[in-house]
Amino acid sequence: MKKTIAVLPGDGVGPEVIAEAVKVLKKVAQKYKHQFDFKKDLIGAAAIDKAGDPFPPKTHKLCLESDAILFGAIGDPRFDNNPKAKVRPEQGLLSMRKALGLYANVRPITTFKTTMTKSPLRPEITQGVDFVVIRELIGGIYFGEPRGRTEDGNKAFDTCVYSKEEIRRVAKFAFQLATKRKGKVTLVDKANVLATSRLWRETVQEMILDYPKVTLEFMFVDNAAMQIIKRPIEFDVILTENMFGDILSDEASVITGSMGMLPSASIGEKTSLYEPIHGSFPKAAGKNIANPIAAILSAVMLLEYSFGLIKEGKAVREAVEAALTRGWGTKDIVLENPMSTSEMGDKIKDNI
């Protein structure tokens, strides 16, 4: 198989963890006789510094011409709470999602036996947890218009907008995924208050008729936030809108014990993007201490979702588990003799 992968390391620890994911993908290509062509470009603060734009046209063009995108992180403290900043790195991420039609964010929440003790939750709660959060990614309050502040600066407003078409698109993905898993979808909303949530319920209820083998349940977002911590093993596929999904998927990361363990995929109309959820982590940038597992597992999702390479993805996942079983890990998951980012990447690569 011959494929082109756009590599967008971004900011902070992004370049460090993405280097390890690329290292693993090169080993997969070598072992299974594939050809992956890696093409790197700029995004975020790195792109602002060199091109004055957090998502330059050149990067956009590369993404459109690639079979998949491997993305690191966006964010730089130089731009935080800086009133002089005319453009922010995070604008590049929102622009990329919208421009590429990345409508469904997929965040699997699974636990490894060897790292369960790192979670603040009791092992009997986290053991065997395996669910996926499907978050609508390019609609809702983050993109709604109008938005802004009144002239006197005393009021601010944001608009949450959804259409049935946007809801159907992401719900179809969630239902199809559920048919390959345990067959259960939980729609998380606030239908007792929000008109957009009532549209979500109405639309999803119409669609469930096409999926007789899938069970559909509804849960208000405040209750879902509690149940994800109390009984996470009960969930299979959680479907929700943009802001709720942003919050809940970050909350769910505590189940694994470290955000450095969690991958994600953003499924698009033309191409899809894969990234670790931990962000740019600027305090660790350049120190070779960040956990590369989330980036490597994002590469696994790339192999499986975009390229259909199930056997190859399984081999990498087993290599990660083997490394963890041997007690190897970076400082966020191992107290004694932690490995560096690059050392951990080498161990996983060598286990394939």
Question: DSSP E strands: which ranges in 165-313?
Answer: 184-189, 215-220, 237-240, 263-268, 273-276
Domain's final residue, options 256, 279, 297:
256
Alpha-carbon distance of 352 to 342, in angstroms, equals: 16
Whether residue 195 lies inside any domain: the answer is yes
Whether residue 55 lies inside any domain: the answer is yes
User: What was the pLDDT predicted at 269?
Assistant: 84
Alpha-carbon distance of 288 to 92, in angstroms, equals: 25
Measured on CA atoms in the order 296, 12, 16, 41, is the torsion positive or negative? positive
Alpha-carbon distance of 349 to 342, in angstroms, equals: 10
Q: Are residues 32 and 139 in the same domain?
A: no
User: What was the pLDDT predicted at 16?
Assistant: 98
CATH code (residue 203): 3.40.718.10
Alpha-carbon distance of 79 to 63, in angstroms, equals: 25
Whether residue 109 lies inside any domain: the answer is no
pLDDT truncated to tens, each residue of the chain (352 aa)?
Answer: 999 999 999 999 999 999 999 999 999 999 999 999 999 999 999 999 999 999 999 999 999 999 999 999 999 999 887 777 788 999 999 899 999 999 999 999 998 877 777 788 898 999 999 999 999 999 999 999 999 999 999 999 999 999 999 999 999 999 999 999 999 999 999 999 999 999 999 999 999 999 999 999 999 999 999 999 999 999 999 999 999 999 999 899 889 878 889 999 999 988 999 999 999 999 999 999 999 999 999 999 999 999 999 999 999 999 999 999 999 999 998 888 999 999 999 999 999 9
Whether residue 106 lies inside any domain: the answer is no
Active site residue 287: no
Whether residue 252 lies inside any domain: the answer is yes
Phi (first) and psi of residue 320, to 5 degrees:
-65, -45
Closest to 263 (Cα-Cα) out of 239, 298, 238 = 298
Classify 233 as helix, strand or coil: helix
Whether residue 170 lies inside any domain: the answer is yes
Whether residue 235 lies inside any domain: the answer is yes
Alpha-carbon distance of 299 to 68, in angstroms, equals: 10
Please tell me which residue in 32, 250, 305, 346 is annotated as part of the active site.
250
Q: Are residues 152 and 244 in the same domain?
A: yes
Closest to 103 (Cα-Cα) out of 270, 275, 320 = 270
Phi (first) and psi of residue 178, to 5 degrees:
-60, -35
User: What was the pLDDT predicted at 208?
Assistant: 96
Q: Are residues 176 and 301 in the same domain?
A: no
The number of folded domains in the chain is 2
Alpha-carbon distance of 281 to 64, in angstroms, equals: 28
Element at 134 (helix H, strand E): strand 130-136
Binding residues for Mg(2+): 222, 246, 250
Query: Considering all CA atoms of the chain, what is the largest pairwise distance in Å, rounded to the nearest integer?
Result: 63
Closest to 241 (Cα-Cα) out of 278, 272, 204 = 204
Alpha-carbon distance of 89 to 6, in angstroms, equals: 19
Binding residues for substrate: 97, 107, 135, 222
Domain interval for residue 301: 1-101+268-352
Active site residue 274: no
Domain's final residue, options 204, 225, 256:
256
Q: Are residues 42 and 132 in the same domain?
A: no
Please tell me which residue in 158, 190, 331, 346 is annotated as part of the active site.
190
Q: Are residues 130 and 54 in the same domain?
A: no
Q: Which residues lie below 8 Å from residue 162, measured CB to CB, with a gap of 6+?
A: 136, 139, 140, 196, 199, 200, 241
**Which residues face 42 on adjacent strands?**
none
Entry pTM? 0.92
Residue type at 81? N
User: What was the pLDDT predicted at 85?
Assistant: 75
Alpha-carbon distance of 87 to 79, in angstroms, equals: 8
Active site residue 211: no
Q: How many CB atoms lie within 10 A of CB 300?
A: 26
Please tell me which residue in 31, 222, 287, 314 is annotated as part of the active site.
222
Q: Are residues 229 and 273 in the same domain?
A: no
Residue type at 109? I
Whether residue 263 lies inside any domain: the answer is no
Q: Are residues 170 and 78 in the same domain?
A: no
Q: Are residues 306 and 244 in the same domain?
A: no
Q: What is the DSSP string of 39-99?
A: EE---THHHHHHHS-SS-HHHHHHHHHSSEEEEEE---GGGTT-TT-SS-HHHHHHHHHHH
Active site residue 210: no
Domain's final residue, options 224, 256, 288:
256
Q: Are residues 39 and 125 in the same domain?
A: no
Please tell me which residue in 130, 142, 158, 305 is annotated as part of the active site.
142
Measured on CA atoms in the order 106, 107, 111, 115, is the torsion positive or negative? positive
User: What was the pLDDT predicted at 158?
Assistant: 96
Q: Are residues 210 and 280 in the same domain?
A: no
CA dihedral 196, 146, 76, 11 (to 10 degrees): 60
Q: Are residues 162 and 285 in the same domain?
A: no
CA atoms within 13 Å, Cβ hemisphere of 70:
33
Active site residue 190: yes
Closest to 140 (Cα-Cα) out of 201, 177, 186, 194 = 194
Q: Are 169 and 103 in contact (CB under 8 A)?
A: yes
Q: Are residues 138 and 248 in the same domain?
A: yes
